[in-house]
Amino acid sequence: MQYQAPRWLPGGHAQTIWPVLFARRHEGPAPEFRRERWTTPDGDFVDVEFLDDPQAAAMNGHAADRPLLVLFHGLEGTVQSQYVQAFAAVARARGWAFAMPYFRGCSGEINLAPRAYHSGDYVEIGWMLDQLRAAHRGPIIAAGVSLGGNALMRWAEESGDSAAATVKAVCSICSPLDLTAAGHAIGKGFNYFVYTRMFLRTMMPKALGKLKQHPGLFDRDRLMRVRNLYEFDDIFTAPLHGFRDADDYWLRASAKPHLARIRVPALLLNARNDPFVPARSLPEQSHVGPQVTLWQPKGGGHVGFPAGRPPGHVWAMPGRVADWLAQHL
């Protein structure tokens, strides 16, 4: 697999930011979606976006018989994220069904339970995949972007041999497989002023909404003093999801230490100039088992991978990921 970043867009930051703001996301019309709401075992809910493509269904048979690509989004991702649009369009072009489950609280409506979502939530990933497996007759392949990819790999690790009964193959894209390294990297320098502050602009109001739902859930004064994702995770994410503190969360939720346990074909895609994920933290071949393929191109940024002439497009990387996944159908 090859990827060469365009000469007109040099550097990891440019290759991260430009695709979000300016690059084309799909060929042809924008993908259209229909939403379903599922009730979770703890009485909460999650929303799921399904690609609504009647023409493809008519050409390729009933949607339940076609391959289903499941995409797990990244931190604060939505169906409008450029990578979701690109993956959905790639699936549409191949005649595949497509689903993007929202993590709790990310679909535009605050969830009900005294919890949210986190990078190692493999139990939630497994439950979502089980629902899709029960409803879909055709083969399932799954990919996760950034946070969603780490959680997906944690599910594959914990599932071991049984993962193959649910999915044919999995892929993580620009995922912080070493959460400690990535968490500290995003809190420094340019990363702090641009990316950390961007994420906190949406995460802080959600946390305050959760506190209004469940008074006493955490210390509001401490939250209001948060300056970075480490402090946010220490006050909010970690204790709400059963971790002692941010250090414990980042250590136990990281997929990197357990990659050798994966027993289903897995592709780990990470650009070596990703501003969020230091190249030194990426897994090496000695860290993984025979089912795992590492793809670490020099360029691409964080979930950017722009291609073509200005303004560029972002469907080249999803297309190559789909090519790899299709080999295992």
Q: Are residues 203 and 57 in the same domain?
A: no
Q: Are residues 93 and 143 in the same domain?
A: yes
Q: Are residues 264 and 224 in the same domain?
A: no
Report residue 171 as tokens: 């892929």
Q: Can you give the pLDDT at residue 137?
A: 95
State the average pLDDT over residues 31-44. 98
Per the domain annotation, does 166 fall within a domain?
A: yes
Q: Are residues 188 and 305 in the same domain?
A: no
Q: Are residues 65 and 195 in the same domain?
A: no
CATH number, domain of 74, equals 3.40.50.1820
Q: Are residues 295 and 231 in the same domain?
A: no
Q: Are residues 26 and 135 in the same domain?
A: yes
- Catalytic residue, candidates 81, 119, 146, 254: 146
Q: What one-letter code names the amino acid at 193?
A: F
Q: Please work out, in degrees rounded to the nearest 5, the angle formed at the alpha carbon of residue 198 by the alpha carbons of 102 and 296.
A: 70
What pLDDT band is residue 194 in, cutting at 50, 70 and 90?
Answer: very high
Q: Are residues 226 and 316 in the same domain?
A: no
Q: Can you give the pLDDT at residue 53?
A: 81
Per the domain annotation, does 231 fall within a domain?
A: yes
Residue 264 has pLDDT above 90, yes or no: yes
State the average pLDDT over residues 7-19. 98
What does pTM read for this prediction? Answer: 0.97
Q: Can you give the pLDDT at residue 65?
A: 86
Distances, alpha carbon 62 to alpha carbons 48, 54, 57, 65, in Å: 19, 10, 6, 6
Q: Is there a contact between 46 and 35 (Cβ–Cβ < 8 Å)?
A: no
Q: Are residues 155 and 303 in the same domain?
A: yes
Q: Are residues 101 and 244 in the same domain?
A: no
Per the domain annotation, does 240 fall within a domain?
A: yes
274 is catalytic: yes
Q: How many structural domains compose the chain?
A: 2
- Catalytic residue, candidates 121, 274, 281, 313: 274
Residue 326 has pLDDT above 60, yes or no: yes
Per the domain annotation, does 7 fall within a domain?
A: no
Closest CA to 40 of 131, 109, 147: 131
44 is catalytic: no
What pLDDT band is residue 322 in, cutting at 50, 70 and 90?
Answer: very high
118 is catalytic: no
What pLDDT band is residue 55 in, cutting at 50, 70 and 90?
Answer: low
Strands (E), the chain: 33-39, 45-51, 68-72, 97-101, 140-145, 169-173, 266-269, 292-295
Please report which helix (H) or strand (E) contains residue 57, including its range: helix 54-60
pLDDT in tens, 104-161: 999 999 999 999 999 999 999 999 999 999 999 999 999 999 999 999 999 999 999 9
Q: Are residues 221 and 152 in the same domain?
A: no
Residue 311 has pLDDT above 70, yes or no: yes
Range of the domain at 248: 179-253
- The residues pairing with 144 across neighbouring beta strands, listed in sequence order, are 72, 172
